[in-house]
Amino acid sequence: MEIIIAKNKEDFDRIAADIVSQQIKDKPDSVLGLATGSTPLGLYAQLVERNKKGEIDFSKVKTFNLDEYKGLAKTHPQSYYYFMFKNLFGKVNIQPENINIPNGEVEDAEKECEEYEKKIKEAGGIDLQVLGIGHNGHIGFNEPGTPFDSITSLIDLDKRTIEANSRFFDSIDQVPRQALSMGIKTIMQARKIILMISGKDKAEIAQKAINGPITTDVPASVLQLHPFVTVVLDEEAASLL
């Protein structure tokens, strides 16, 4: 694992944006795996700016998002579909047909997951996967206890995740209880991974994920087994390393 500790927020976003930009420059038809959450917001803002300036071109880029809530309409402001269009896809020159997000609105979520996994393979696999991390160590929505060989599937959300994500909803009852998520094996098959961790409240889990034992209790600890992972942290998140 390569560990990079950013000096400040600007530096944190810039380092991540440099890695993603370089990937797109090296391979214009890159397949990117993308994450939601507050952590990569600055990265997406940087990518939008660089695209506007003509420094990076999304016209041939394909994307696969990690996850989506089950049962939220695409138009719901808390759906990951909505998030991605608002923060990135609606602002760069990506082709709509190259955007892939698990569809949380389908009846048969299991079938949707199977097809999603197939689509990733057909696209040639993910070149660079962007990840955030949950307070319990989840990556995508792979909660503690998820087997390391899991593929894209329908997941029951952890109590802690429902609580953490309730800040975005009017009440905790409105937070979906399930999500469609790439599996841990799906994530590990990406050729390169960038894990972004920011904030004091993530310091403990950052320490466990990076230096702790590799265990399904901390899903992100599996990344220690991947040959090309860059972890970008801000100073607060890195304070217990």
Residues engaged in binding ligand GLP (CB under 6 A): 35-39, 66-67, 132-134, 140-141, 161, 165
Give the separation between CA 16 and CA 91, rounded to whole angstroms: 18
Nearer to ligand GLP, 31 or 176 (CB): 176
The residues, ordered by sequence, that sit 6+ positions from 70 with a Cβ below 8 Å of its Cβ are 104, 109, 154, 176, 177, 178, 179, 180
What is the smallest separation between the CB atom of 198 and ligand GLP, expressed in angstroms? 8
At 217 the three-state DSSP class reads coil
Active site annotation includes 136: yes
* Active-site hit among 51, 65, 136, 142: 136
What is the smallest separation between the CB atom of 114 and ligand GLP, expressed in angstroms?
A: 20
112 is catalytic: no
143 in active site: yes
* Nearest of 169, 166, 214, 159 to residue 188 by alpha carbon: 214
What's the closest the beta carbon of residue 224 comes to ligand GLP, in angstroms?
Answer: 18
Question: Residue 25 or 199: which CB sits closer to ligand GLP?
Answer: 199
Q: If you ran DSSP here, which 8-state letter would residue 11 be given?
A: H
Q: How crowded is the C-beta side of 93, counted as CA atoms within 13 Å? A: 15
Q: Which 8-state DSSP code applies to residue 174? A: G
Instruction: Give the residue with the Cβ less far from ligand GLP, 57 or 224.
Output: 224
Q: Which residues are designated catalytic?
A: 67, 136, 138, 143
